[in-house]
Amino acid sequence: MSGFSPEFLWGVSTSALQIEGAFDTDGRGPSVWDGHTAKDGTDARVATGHYDRYREDVALLAGLGVDAYRFSLSWTRVQPSGTGAVNQRGLDFYDRLVDELAAHGITPVPTLFHWDTPSTLSWQDRDTADRFAEYAAIVADRLGDRVPRWITINEPAEVTLLGHAIGEHAPGLKLVFDALPVAHHLLLGHGKAVRALRAAGADQIGVAMSHTPVWTAGDTDEDRFAADLYDGIMNHLFADPVLTGRYPEGFAEAMPGPVDDDLAVIASPVDWYGINYYNPSLVGAPKPGEASYAGIDLPPDLPFELHDIPGYPHTAFDWPVVPDGLRELLVSLRDRYGDRLPPVVITENGCSYDDPVDDTRRIEYLDGHIRAVAAAMSEGVDVRGYFVWSLLDNWEWAEGFRQRFGLVHVDYDTLKRTPKASYAWYRDHIRAAKA
Q: Which residues are catalytic?
A: 155, 348
8 A C-beta contact, residue 181 and residue 124: yes
Instruction: Please indicate if the annotation marks 276 as binding a ligand.
Output: no
Q: Which residue, among 308, 411, 402, 314, has the nearest Cα to 364 in the 3D structure?
A: 314
Q: How far apart are CA 207 and CA 269, in angstroms?
A: 11
Peptide bond into 390 cis (omega under 30): yes
Residue spans of beta strands (DSSP E) within 61-204: 68-72, 107-113, 150-154
Q: How many CB atoms lie within 10 A of CB 114?
A: 24
Instruction: Please indicate if the annotation marks 154 as binding a ligand.
Output: yes
Instruction: Please indicate if the annotation marks 124 as binding a ligand.
Output: no
Helices within 104-220 (DSSP H only)? 127-143, 156-160, 180-199
Q: How many residues does the chain have?
A: 435
Q: How far apart are CA 105 and CA 99, in angstroms?
A: 10
CA distances for 130 relative to 74, 83, 84, angstroms: 17, 10, 12
Instruction: Please indicate if the annotation marks 18 as binding a ligand.
Output: yes
Helices within 172-274 (DSSP H only)? 180-199, 221-231, 237-244, 259-266
Instruction: Please indicate if the annotation marks 230 as binding a ligand.
Output: no
Helix (H) or strand (E) holding 433, with range, is helix 421-434
8 A C-beta contact, residue 247 and residue 181: no
Instruction: Please indicate if the annotation marks 278 as binding a ligand.
Output: yes
Instruction: Please indicate if the annotation marks 396 as binding a ligand.
Output: yes
Extract the annotated binding site for substrate.
Answer: 18, 114, 154, 278, 389, 396-397
Extract the annotated binding site.
Answer: 18, 114, 154, 278, 389, 396-397
